[in-house]
Amino acid sequence: MMKRCLPLLVGLLLCPVAMASIPSGYYNNAIGKSDEALMSALEGIIYSHTQLTYAYLWTAFDYTDVGDDGYYIDMYSNCKYNSSADHTSGASYVGQGINREHSFPKSWWNSNQTTSLLEYTDLTHLIPTDAYVNQRRSNYAYGVCSSGETYTNGDYTMLGKIGTSTYSGYTGTVYEPDDEYKGDLARIYFYMVTCYKSDVSTWSCDMIDYSTNGYKAFSSWVITMLMEWHRADPVSTKEINRNEGVYGQQGNRNPFVDHPELAEYIWGTKQGRTWTGEDDDEPTITKETPLLYPADTTAVTSSSFRADWKGVDNVSSYTLYVNQVETSDTVVLLNETFSGVTATSDGSSDISSSLDSYADNSGWTGYKVYEASGGLKLGTSSAAGYLVSPTLDMGSVVSVTLNAASWVSSKSVSDGASAIISCGSVADTVALTTSAADYTVVLTGCTDSNIKISCTAGKKRMYVYGVKVYEGDLNLARARRRVIVEEGDSSTRTISGITDTCYTVSALHEGGTFEYKVKAVYTDGTTGDWSNIEYVTLAEATASGKVGDINCDGEVNVGDVTTLIDYLLGNDPSPIDLDAADVNKDNEINAADVSALIDILLGSGVTYIDLMESGDPMIEAILEDKSLRTAD
């Protein structure tokens, strides 16, 4: 069916291509053009090509889609097919046979679906795929769905999922490809509307809106989505090799593989500019999102706290948002930290059968699970690993917070993994970063008593460091607890222009609970996404008043600093509130409280000069130390 390797001769023909071999002058007619003129020039370059027969595609795939292991690279599944696989017209399960998939469905060309059309056998968009997955994909649009169906058969599994679109602008059923191939398929779609630019106005599907967007062809939501995929998943060696193979078979190339920047000139950030034949702009700056750290309890008072975050590059400033929330009891069904793991690196032994030895809660089961530093690693290069929680007394709606990260090899290469979190027939998928972070999903309609956490496929390995399961919708609970107040008061604060990676927020409601988040303002003037959200509960006020009001005058100012220093020097200042003097709440009164009090004053608008004017040597020493740390 699909087990025989390709002949050695074919394998030799398909040695990886190190770089694109673009014929000299191939794109000359497009140089100096922009927008529609550029697209028309590209159409003129790539439209005329050798028309293949539909039957010949099986031979052509041997030159375009075979990987290093001798099997076809199937962008829809992890099945192992080659030229000897069953060419089935119908399939009942994943792994039964292979199809020639029109990744750009032929039904979108209206009634004209004959093999006489160039696009019908255009090898650029025809790919070998598992027959069953191809049937499930049908002619659904590509898109994004936060939850959806995947199909498996033993070790064979569908890559991607089918479900209701959650991408803004479209609510129909979509097929969401695997992250690894989203860029590949975006560039195939760019090719199709460019190569057949003169025909697109007659095509009809939810991804095309020629009447609105003209030569750009796609619906507005599709343009945004495909450009996101194109940028997030750059051209790979696999694509370059395939482009060379297509050129050898039918004599034309995909310009968006040879010159990925062309997409920006037609649909992206460089519209209106002429193409010079290469991307000669300054490199696009990297735009990462800051990572908030949990609040430092030593810097929390009754009316202030310090927010700290991991800084990112290419930032001109940060904006911090703080909002008071009302506290509410939350029913925690499971809190798992895998505290029994003692490994300092990835293990090689599958511990699926002995997970109770590594977990805080007994009853965990799994498949292809390994020890890792601080947690567990799921999956291998060929198998999708998973974890199943102990039996829980759950209702139909549960919230799951997963602390996890994508696996990174010793060569700093990431699998770009996503995690599927499911309960019975309902599931949600989250894309993981290479740094550990919390991901919260809400599962509605649970029919099981276990939570399953799984990789999407082999080669999509991930780390799991902690799992929390809550009864009900955690996001709605938080939304209900919000106190809607005017920006800028003691409940809600927005602070912009921060150039450091920490900030002390003061003059807040005493003893309140606050949520806070931060975002970056980049050097090109754009603003990034908000970070993760952290929560902090301020200390209760002392009997006599505010934390830091050491001299009992109802205010927190430089006088409190000098009173505290006077006390530490062994004198007996009066009046003095020793509860208020324990500023950092570590049950001791020492120089650390002086430093914490100075942080509060600096955060409330008191300047270094105001503090230096006190003339106290301890204040001067602490300020000098803070100045040096800021400079570092």
Among residues 343, 336, 236, which one has the least CA distance to residue 19?
Answer: 236
* pLDDT value for 627: 56
User: Which tens digits make up the pLDDT trace of 31-54?
Assistant: 999 999 999 999 999 999 999 999
Taking the mean position of all CA atoms in its chain, how far away is CA 208? 27
* pLDDT value for 631: 42
* pLDDT value for 191: 97
* Cβ atoms 174, 208 nearer than 8 A: no
What is the spatial distance between Cα 167 and Cα 160, in angstroms, rounded to a whole number?
A: 15
* Cβ atoms 90, 131 nearer than 8 A: yes
Grouping H, G, I as helix, E, B as strand and the rest as coil, residue 472 is coil
What is the spatial distance between Cα 518 and Cα 494, in angstroms, rounded to a whole number?
A: 10
The position carrying tokens 């020639």 is: 100
* pLDDT value for 436: 86
The position carrying tokens 């000139």 is: 265
Residue ranges, the chain, pLDDT below 50: 1-18, 329, 478-486, 543-544, 628-632
Any idea what DSSP says for residue 353?
G
What are the structural domains of the chain? Answer: 8-15+29-267 (no CATH), 291-326+482-537 (2.60.40.10), 332-473 (2.60.120.260), 558-631 (1.10.1330)
Among residues 393, 243, 260, 403, which one has the least CA distance to residue 333?
Answer: 393
User: What is the secondary structure of 157-225 as a DSSP string?
Assistant: EBSSEEEE--STT--SEEEE--HHHHHHHHHHHHHHHHHTTTTGGG--STTB-HHHHGGG-B-HHHHHH
* Cβ atoms 60, 68 nearer than 8 A: no
Among residues 523, 514, 480, 478, which one has the least CA distance to residue 495?
Answer: 514
Grouping H, G, I as helix, E, B as strand and the rest as coil, residue 329 is coil
State the pairing for strand pair 452-455/386-388: antiparallel
What is the spatial distance between Cα 561 and Cα 600, in angstroms, rounded to a whole number?
A: 11
* pLDDT value for 17: 36
Q: Three-state SS string across 422-461, please? A: EECCEEEEEECCCCCEEEEEEEECCCCCCCEEEECCCCCC
What is the spatial distance between Cα 619 and Cα 621, in angstroms, rounded to a whole number?
A: 5
* pLDDT value for 4: 24
pTM of the model: 0.49
Angle between helices 558-568 and 591-603 in degrees, nearest 10: 180
What is the spatial distance between Cα 303 and Cα 317, in angstroms, rounded to a whole number?
A: 25
The position carrying tokens 């040879």 is: 258
User: What is the secondary structure of 222-269 as a DSSP string?
Assistant: HHHHHHHHHHHS---HHHHHHHHHHHHHHS---HHHH-TTHHHHHHST
Strand order in the sheet with 502-505: 291-292, 305-310, 502-505
Grouping H, G, I as helix, E, B as strand and the rest as coil, residue 622 is helix
* pLDDT value for 605: 67
